[in-house]
Structure 1
Amino acid sequence: MELQKTSNGHHDLSPDRIPENGSPVTRFDALENITEGDTFLPNKSNGKIETQFTDFVGKTSFGMSIFNLSNAILGSGILGLAYAMANTGIILFVLLLTSMAILSAYSIHLLLKSAGVVGIRAYEQLGNRAFGRPGKILAASIITLNNIGAMSSYLFIVKIELPHIIQGLLPDNSDYWFVDGRYLIIIISVLVILPLALMKRLGYLGYTSGFSLSCMVFFLISVIYKKFVTECPEEHSYNKTVPTESIYNSTDGMCEAKLITINPQTAFTIPIIAFAFVCHPEVLPIYTELKNPSKKRMQKVANISILTMFVMYLVTAIFGYLTFYGNVKSELLEMYSKKDTLMLCVRLAVLIAVTLTVPVVLFPIRRAVLQLLFPDKPFHWVRHISIAVCLLFLVNLLVIFVPNIRDIFGFIGATSAPSLIFILPGIFYICIVPEEQEPLKSRPKIQAIAFVTLGFIFMIMSITFIIIEWVTGKKTSGGH
């Protein structure tokens, strides 16, 4: 059997690279019968067969993997969760957030199970195994679009917020070049993001991911503190024009907590909560680099990361909502005074957090590009660096010159996020796990089919909300 190499310099044993001279049974049975940890080329040691995945053995510790995946989950959408709670009520919000955390963990389970059958931990290779090259192209394209959208939204926040922070810390400097957001994102991209993006492996970013998470913990502590020193601005009600039906609360007071709230914005907030746990493009790269990898160990990384982010999301939403109640805006930081020194530091911490997330998001895009354009080539620094530079150049151009970048990538996110969370993991699982192991009518396959169906429902809902937003001119909140 002639072996080809993947972009990381290791053997690609996907079905389209197995020689044509073997029978279909010979060519595919080996793939379908491989279980977690098995390899296509067993290594003999002391007369025993050692099994392993076909890609390289990872060196990233369990803790660093948790930092990286948590950082991938944690996005700018945390700023919109208090607004989401204001438009769903506390009980409905907690139910939705809990449901999405569980569904996200289940989605990762499907990905890991499929990767265990294929023997290669790459999202694109799962697409290749399920549908051939079109599936590989589809998976790589969706990952690229989703993550470019995420990178753009993070840098867009830097472009808008960093000048305000500099003006707050250094007053009377509004005419200088260093308060122009366009120059600032270029400087940040060159001095901070690019060096981190040039790391050979994603695991090396565990330290910066840990620091990024600590910045968001500072944000969380500040939100909790502000709850006890801030009075609800009842006279400046932000949502007074929004008709509200509170099922369990008889009063419509803007400074009273609602347990369950139904208003025209409620439907718009559901996708915000649904997409709060998008991290799936990063799951398999992190799995690839995990030390002593196994499906159980990686699932534990995912579960701890999701649980940690669930707690952060819930506490931020509750205390943000209980500070401003029905007055809360779509981005929580807008509610705090820009002259408040503490909140200026919090804004800076949030900017540091989203900036340090950009390199983590860039890694899956580069891997997708390598899988599409250079699937047979070993690792090479020139390609590694060139792709990172080109991606950052493209994203900077978009953020600088496209004024409605959030609308553009909002539509992309409405299609790519449900695909990455629900549709592709479920379809890959259904197609890859052999019927001899799990028949189509078995409970796991039926659950996967229902999961895919739910994904299509979320996609249709999200696209509908985006179109309504464009037509009516009303803005939804949040992001990832």
Structure 2
Amino acid sequence: MNTSIQEDGVRDAQQFGNDDGKPLLASQKMVREVAKSSKTSASFNFINSIIGSGVIGLPYSLNQAGLPLGLLLLVLVAFITDYSIILLIKGGNLSGTNSYQSLVRSTFGLTGYLVLSLLQFLYPFIAMISYNIITGDTLVKVFLRIPGVGPDNLLAERHFVIALSTLLFTLPLSLFRDVSKLAKVSFLSMVLTVVILFIVIIRAATLGPNIPPTENAWVFARWNAIQAVGVMSFAFICHHNSFMIYASLKDPNLSNWSRVTHVSVGSALIISALFAAAGYATFTGYTQGDIFENYCKNDDLATFGRFCFCISIITTYPLECFVTREVVSNVVFNGALNIYSHVAVTLLVVGTCTALSLTYDCLGIVLVLNGVISATPLIFIIPSACYLKLSTERWFNCENRIPCLLLIAGVFVMITGFIMAVMFPQDCSHGDEMFYCSASNRSSSTSTPAAELLLGNSTSFRCHIVAS
């Protein structure tokens, strides 16, 4: 940090009675008045905001990049996420601001503020649409495994399921005004994510060996790795609610925030890497944008995983709604929502997301485009640009080299990823059973239910492979 900025920070820290001597500004005093969460609760919320619908597409990102290169890129994206989150809060402290929008407005004026607000609104808004798409598609498969529920049943209709989950769960949770109240819900979501991870690993061991790997399944790298970075960026983006979670800390300072960030991003990386590797190892080149589309409908263990994942994303949905509502509040209502406008904005946002998710049902392109258009600027470009603008040192000076490189890399990934996503879109096989599932159905009469649950109908898979 350059000397002039550091001296300003120390003076402001002294003025507002900072108890740890770190250079924190007026925003520090403001967030102290509303802080409610412990570091543990904040970490639960933060991990939950990272591990949302994006994790379901991580195996597909390895299919795009190649397994070894994909895992290296995943670690790199996690490192950049961790670094840029802390950089973002540093920028807020240096500029005396306590929100992403106010930070960008103080550094790039009204134009930058409006661009950031649009991106910060689009990312969680599109994420909420993807959550509804997953909920509708996945819960339908869960309900169809219930005895007596057939294709003509109301519970087998994705539109009805999306509307029902919105009215019963996501809308009531989204109406909360205090993000710290979601800590217990976020902890439940984390537990369910770990359960899903174990299911994916079990199926990698029991189902994977019976599915023929595609050609060049284990190559180091593939040409469309840039699209993989877009999916990974979508999975790891959490900058849009960083200030909100930072403000919920009981003792918000850079030291505590760094601990929360390291724990949250590190935990998310471990879960994401295991999930991605196990999912890709099971299906190799057949891996789809929604990994649960690869499992057979009659796989009861996978069905339980689908149910757990639906509960997990339903509990993640409100965190994204909090951010969209905050953006609307800042842009339209100058940051002041009374109880009536709070309810009205929430109903408008949730209702619009529900309407759009009822008309579109292909997840893969949603993840890629949201990753390269919204997530990449929010992770790579904007935090780096703000910090570089606040610093009085030259861009390629020692402390500014990493932000400068992130800025350049972000622009490259955003432009290249968008072009590739448009030119080479992912095929959407929504609702289709894979070839190995058809083979399983033909020979299911020779397998017991217990064997199918344990082995994923391995006998029928092996027969299909031999026949082919």
TM norm structure 2: 0.82
Partners of 1:296 and 1:213 in 2: CA distance: 24
| Aligned-pair Cα RMSD in Å | 2.9
Match of 1:421, SS state, is helix
Partners of 1:361 and 1:278 in 2: CA distance: 11
Q: Does 1:122 align with 2:99?
A: yes
Q: Does 1:389 align with 2:347?
A: yes
> What is the Cα deviation at residue 405 of structure 1?
7.6
Match of 2:304, SS state, is helix
Partners of 1:303 and 1:288 in 2: CA distance: 17
Match of 1:91, SS state, is helix
Q: Does 1:419 align with 2:395?
A: no
Tell me which of 266, 271, 276 is aligned to 1:307.
266
Letter in 1 for 2:240: P
| Cα deviation code 1:222-258 (max 9, x no counterpart) | 12222332253445x6x45xxx4xxxxxxxxx6xxx2
Question: Structure 2 matches for 1:255-404, cutoff 5 A?
Answer: 258=218, 260-375=219-334, 377=336, 379-402=337-360
Q: Does 1:221 align with 2:194?
A: no
Aligned residue pair count: 420
Q: Does 1:449 align with 2:404?
A: yes
Partners of 2:57 and 2:41 in 1: CA distance: 27
Partners of 1:408 and 1:100 in 2: CA distance: 19
Tell me which of 62, 78, 83 is aligned to 1:85.
62
Partners of 1:42 and 1:348 in 2: CA distance: 49
Partners of 2:188 and 2:11 in 1: CA distance: 32
Over 3 Å counting, the alpha-carbon distance change for 1:195 and 1:79 in structure 2 is same
Letter in 2 for 1:332: I
Gaps (5+ residues) in structure 1? 1-29, 245-253
Match of 2:389, SS state, is helix
Q: Does 1:464 align with 2:387?
A: no
Question: Structure 2 matches for 1:38-77, cutoff 5 A?
Answer: 38=12, 42=16, 52-55=28-31, 56-77=33-54
Question: Structure 2 matches for 1:120-159, cutoff 5 A?
Answer: 120-159=97-136
Over 3 Å counting, the alpha-carbon distance change for 1:151 and 1:33 in structure 2 is farther
Contact 1:37 1:294 in 2 (8 A): no
Contact 2:130 2:366 in 1 (8 A): no
Match of 2:460 in 1: none
Partners of 2:380 and 2:282 in 1: CA distance: 34
- Identity, in percent, stands at 24
> What is the Cα deviation at residue 268 of structure 1?
3.3
Partners of 2:34 and 2:7 in 1: CA distance: 22
Gaps (5+ residues) in structure 2? 20-24, 431-468
Partners of 2:330 and 2:15 in 1: CA distance: 21
> What is the Cα deviation at residue 84 of structure 1?
3.0
Match of 1:191 in 2: 168
TM norm structure 1: 0.80
Contact 1:197 1:363 in 2 (8 A): yes
Contact 2:54 2:367 in 1 (8 A): no
Over 3 Å counting, the alpha-carbon distance change for 1:274 and 1:43 in structure 2 is closer
Partners of 2:18 and 2:201 in 1: CA distance: 57
Contact 2:136 2:162 in 1 (8 A): yes
Q: Please identify, of 399-408 and 290-299, the stretch whose mean Cα deviation from structure 2 is larger.
A: 399-408
| Cα deviation code 1:251-297 (max 9, x no counterpart) | xxx6xxx2x43445545323223433111101111001111010121
Over 3 Å counting, the alpha-carbon distance change for 1:138 and 1:476 in structure 2 is farther
